[in-house]
Chain A
Amino acid sequence: MSKSVTDVICPFCGTLCDDLEVIVSDDGKKIEDIYNACAIGAEKFMHAQAPERVKRPRMQQPDGSYKEVSYDEAVEYTARMLFNAKKPLMYGWSSTSCEAQSVGHEIAEKVGAIVDNTATVCHGTTLIAVQDVGIPSCTLGEIKNRADRIIFWGCNPCHAHPRHQSRYSVFPRGFFTNKGHMNRKVIVVDPRVTDTAKLADYHYQVEQGRDYELLSAFRVALRNEPLPETVAGIPREKIIEGAEVMKSGRFGIIFFGMGVTQSLSKNHNIDNAIMLTKDLNEFTKFSIMAMRGHYNVTGSGQVLGWQFGYPFSVDLSRGFARYNPGETSSNDLLRRGEVDAVFVLGSDPGAHFPISSVKKIAELPSVCVDPHITPTSEISKLHVPVAFVGVEVGGNCYRMDNVPIEARKVVDPPEGVLTDVEFLTRVNARLDQLMGGK
């Protein structure tokens, strides 16, 4: 007899769907089926079952091959590496639980590490913009219940957040939106004709890297000030029409993604998008939200925030917390050769960092804690496989709108495989021994 686990949280993207149903074998060991998840979410659950999964830590040998080691040895190597390093980088934290982040921070504080999460290559620019100009936002349920103007700027939820539109933003019927999609006008701003753009009522095919100009143009149009004939490749009439659509709504929202956070102008784009939102509040109700990628990158920013006061790129190496992206951010530190050991958990910089940074990681003492074999695990001196958070162990996570949801455990991890929290707690305890008297 199989059993069904309901209200399961999907530990993949920032949409953090919490309505999955997972069918589990009677012995609680095997996932048989998944309902409600999108394809990428379902894939994540199935991956946990992959037969080639590594189940014990592996140490890279001088010839590049791997030797299986015990968790005790892995704890010892990790603790000593962090203990001996002058300025270790502890990176990732976006695909793990807040509980694990918290233990990680305690370790980082002890050894004087830099703690950074994936925002550093993604929405860090957003966080900087928020520090400049604030952010008017809301929860995703507000969109579902009230919003009649939906703008996707530089993001493509059809591919990156597949259930976003059906659960929250475009299709659902809510309290004041009982006609669902019919109540809403959708605007997409993207240089590419994406699947999201194809669904939209209005597609603004902005010239690559010209988002800042277009945002400014909308702000000009709202003020009824004169505009040039075209801005960023968009004719004046279309801009004025777009501004009208925005301000004629009862409740609007701008969702934005990497298309604006990492294109030319970076945080300045987001500054301007937020100020456009603020301007729109002179006419109607408007919000703005970042489409966060990893399922718990938001949580990492939260836990860092309440423990140290900054959302990413937090440097604890001087005995107190410092924050100065550009100086204390992972890629800048790696490129300048300022860190002497790298600990990665809950992310894959090997796949996402520039090659110059990846080479540096490969040269340094390094540990990668990850259930998968990843590009990062392949260049790390030590790979520590762990249980999948949200599949084999629970823990708290924060959705893209900062709503906290506690992920569930649906099956047991493979025999003997530690969880993130267990592994970190052992490293922490070992560090206490090493530091005894210090």
Chain B
Amino acid sequence: MAEYIIKNGFVFDPTQGIKGDKADIAVKDGKIVKSTEVSSKAKTIDASGKTVMAGAVEIHAHIAGPKVNEGRNYRPEDKLFTYRPKSASSRMAGGFSIPTTFKTGYEYARMGYTTAMEAAMPPLYARHVHEEIKDTPIIDEGAYPVFGNNWFVLEYLKNKEIENTCAYISWLLEASKGYAVKVVNPGGTEAWGWGLNCLTIDDPVPYFDITPREIVTGLIEANEALGLPHSVHIHQNSLGNPGNYTVTLDTLKLAEGFKAKNKFGREQVLHSTHLQFHSYGGDSWANFESKSKEVMDYVNKQKNITVDTGCVTLDETTTMTADGPFEHHLTELNHLKWANVDVELETAAGIVPYIYSPDIKVCEIQWAIGLELALMAKDPMRCFITTDHPNAGPFTRYPRIIKWLMSAEARKKQIESFKHSAKMVEATHIAGIDRELSLYEIAQMTRAGPAKSLGLSHQYGGLAPGMDADIVVYDFNPEKPHKPEDIEKAFSAAAYVMKTGVPVVINGEIVSNGNKRTLWVKAKVNENPQVMRDIRDKFLRYYSVTQANYDVSSHFVPNPHVIEVDATH
């Protein structure tokens, strides 16, 4: 394999504490090595005057699978004016808030993202998720199967059977080729099977006689008993409702007393996703306000939690979530077209288009809350930038969010352009925050932090020898004066991107489809005949497919990267 040396760039690498020093990064056989380990034949990439970081890691986006594709198919309008014809090294690619799989891979790569996690995989549809992942070029991907409304989980946890829950998680991760334990609106989505919901963590789930509180704590316990690379990844109850921050704090507190147990260097036991949607005060849309401070005060002092922001980008987008009742609520608010799928024994999903207008007060406040969370974060290794793509906006807006976070001037300009800026300022903290994130902090929030939270810090998110050669060069000179727009421009189209040692982007253009991998977790547990019997029984009686036709075969995961865990005892 080829050797490379990326010379003279300003390097930002939190894993080694490098904060913009000039350094060379050497690559051999797809890995980063010491500069002395490459021969004189190594190809030189001149990065002088430019910023060098590891490839970024997306911890939460909806980019592959049934609801994403329903979004594409039911929104032809999303493709308008977006298409790029094919080139020698790329397929034709289009779509804005729900791009085609090809465009998804290309756009992430162009921004310097080399790994992405699909945030909600309905296990029964896992094969579909993997078909799309297979057709998404360049980036490594994994997918989180949803567990928070799964009948096996509800029944085992009702009886406090942690060991059985572990055995089932292990079985389902392997059957669905999944990466982590995702929880969406615990209990509430099962209640949605009857048109109901669970809006606090103590609302009982109809029939199953269990509460969201018990589901979340049970799953944390099981996750740590298994020692999975990622923690439980939760989308909490009461998403999107005024006043929901108390439910958020209640849920976050469930992590108290738990300690991370794993061999991957992960320290959190709970990842709370798209926190923006869960940090709302007020009791109606009229007195809706930011509670980012209350939420981040708690997150800042609670070391066993990581979060991502879910920043609103002020675009027309397509919301989609396994939180079925929320999407029904949303369509009643905005009267835009509603799609829903309830999935037997497992979950549900809903989709509604949404326009985050800079002329609507609530949207302006949502915009502020997302940024406030990141700006109030004391430890950037525990707070990650996301848009909950495409829910708060498309991932292609990351460069713009980075601009807002790095420049108080850019935020001020945006605030002044809002229609209700005075009212918005009153309901939020954003105008009083002058913090500007550094490139180092951005590298923590988009690289080292998410990689560590996912239990992948040994291979992603940094530039230390031995790590995967996922490297990005941005045409941005941190030592020269710049305008806010220069930040957005540089992060939108990287000067150079390498994925596991293969150049994939040069001057913002795709030059190769790389050698993408699918990550999944194989967790070995003791033999558990009872759980195997329960699985057989549920397939015979309640599923509409046979057990033999449920497993995702290796044919759908042609280039797997399996993370193994031994939880036998």
Contact = CB atoms under 8 A, between A and B. Distances in A.
Interface of A: 6-7, 9, 18-19, 98, 102, 106, 109, 127, 130-142, 144-146, 167-168, 173-176, 250-251, 278, 281, 284-285, 287, 301-303, 305-311, 316, 319-321, 323, 396, 398, 401-406
Which of B72, B101, B543 gathers the greatest number of chain A CB atoms within 10 Å? Answer: B72
Nearest to B195: A285
B337 A133 contact: yes
B345 interface: yes
B549 A319 contact: no
Contacts of B94: 308-309, 320-321
Given A109-B92, A138-B343, A285-B195, A127 B73 contact: yes
A296 to B, nearest CB: 13
Contacts of A137: 339-342
Contacts of B91: 106, 109, 307
B462 interface: no
B317 to A, nearest CB: 15
A146 B193 contact: yes
Interface stretch (B81-89, B209-217, B289-297): B81-89
> Lowest 5 CB-CB distances: which A-B pairs, in order?
A141-B344, A134-B337, A320-B83, A141-B544, A138-B342
A278 B549 contact: no
Contacts of B76: 131, 309-310, 323
A425 to B, nearest CB: 15
Nearest to B134: A102
Interface of B: 64, 66, 68-70, 72-76, 78-79, 83-86, 91-92, 94-95, 98, 100-102, 124-125, 127-128, 131-132, 135, 151, 193-195, 207, 328, 331, 336-345, 348, 351-352, 541-546, 548-549, 553, 555-556
Contact of A396 (B127, B207, B345, B543): B127
B86 A109 contact: yes
Given A134-B331, A145-B344, A316-B92, A306 B135 contact: yes
Contacts of B83: 320-321
A403 B128 CA distance: 8
B344 A307 contact: no
Given A109-B91, A144-B544, A306-B135, A406 B127 contact: yes
B92 to A, nearest CB: 6
B102 A98 contact: no
B74 A319 contact: no
Contacts of A301: 73
Given A133-B338, A285-B195, A307-B100, 10 more contacts: A18-B549, A106-B91, A137-B341, A137-B342, A139-B341, A139-B544, A302-B131, A306-B69, A309-B94, A406-B553
Contacts of A406: 127, 549, 553, 555
A306 B62 CA distance: 13
Contact of A139 (B86, B344, B556): B344
Contacts of B128: 302, 398, 402, 404
Contacts of A284: 195
Q: Which of A18, A106, A316 has the most CB of B within 10 A?
A: A18
B328 A281 contact: yes
Contacts of B124: 139, 141, 403
Task: Identify which of B76, B338, B345 gathers the most chain A CB atoms within 10 Å of its CB.
Answer: B76
A160 B236 CA distance: 43
A309 B73 contact: yes
Contacts of A102: 135
A19 B546 contact: yes
A320 B92 contact: yes
B544 A140 contact: yes
Nearest to A135: B339
Contacts of B135: 102, 306-307
A71 B224 CA distance: 57
A309 B328 contact: no
Given A309-B79, A309-B95, A136 B340 contact: yes
Contacts of B78: 309
A38 B76 CA distance: 38
Contacts of B70: 305, 402
Given A134-B351, A278-B338, A396-B131, A141 B549 contact: no
Contacts of A138: 340-344, 348
A229 B6 CA distance: 81
A420 to B, nearest CB: 16
A142 B549 contact: no
Nearest to A133: B337
Given A306-B100, A307-B102, A309-B72, A7 B341 contact: no
A404 B73 contact: no
A303 B79 CA distance: 16
Given A131-B74, A320-B94, A396-B127, A251 B194 contact: yes
B21 to A, nearest CB: 43
Contacts of B193: 142, 146, 251, 285
Given A135-B339, A309-B94, A142 B344 contact: yes
A404 B338 contact: no
A127 B74 CA distance: 7
Nearest to A404: B127
A168 B545 CA distance: 11
Contacts of B132: 306
Contacts of B544: 139-141, 144, 167-168, 403
Contact of A321 (B92, B343, B352, B548): B92
A133 B338 CA distance: 7
B475 to A, nearest CB: 28
Contacts of B343: 138-139, 141-142
Contacts of A403: 124-125, 544-545
Contact of A402 (B341, B545, B546): B341
A7 B100 contact: no
20 contacts: A7-B548, A109-B86, A130-B339, A133-B338, A135-B339, A135-B340, A138-B340, A138-B341, A141-B343, A141-B344, A141-B543, A142-B343, A302-B128, A306-B68, A308-B92, A309-B76, A310-B72, A320-B92, A323-B76, A402-B341
A132 B74 CA distance: 8
A145 B340 CA distance: 17
Contacts of B131: 98, 302-303, 306, 396, 404
B75 A321 contact: no
Contacts of B151: 175
B74 A134 contact: yes
Nearest to A286: B195
Nearest to B196: A285
B69 A305 contact: yes
B72 A306 contact: yes
B72 to A, nearest CB: 5
Contact of A311 (B73, B79, B337): B73
A9 B553 CA distance: 15
A287 B349 CA distance: 13
A106 B137 CA distance: 14
Contacts of B100: 306-309
Given A302-B69, A320-B92, A141 B553 contact: no
Contacts of A305: 69-70, 72-73
A98 B127 CA distance: 12
B351 to A, nearest CB: 7
A401 B128 CA distance: 12
B107 to A, nearest CB: 14
A119 B51 CA distance: 50
Nearest to A402: B66
B339 A136 contact: yes
Instruction: Name, among A102, A167, A174, A306, the residue most crowded by chain B CB atoms within 10 Å (CB to CB).
Output: A306
B74 A135 contact: yes
Nearest to B352: A134
B155 to A, nearest CB: 11
A319 B340 contact: no
A109 B92 CA distance: 8
A326 to B, nearest CB: 13
Nearest to A307: B100
Nearest to B103: A309
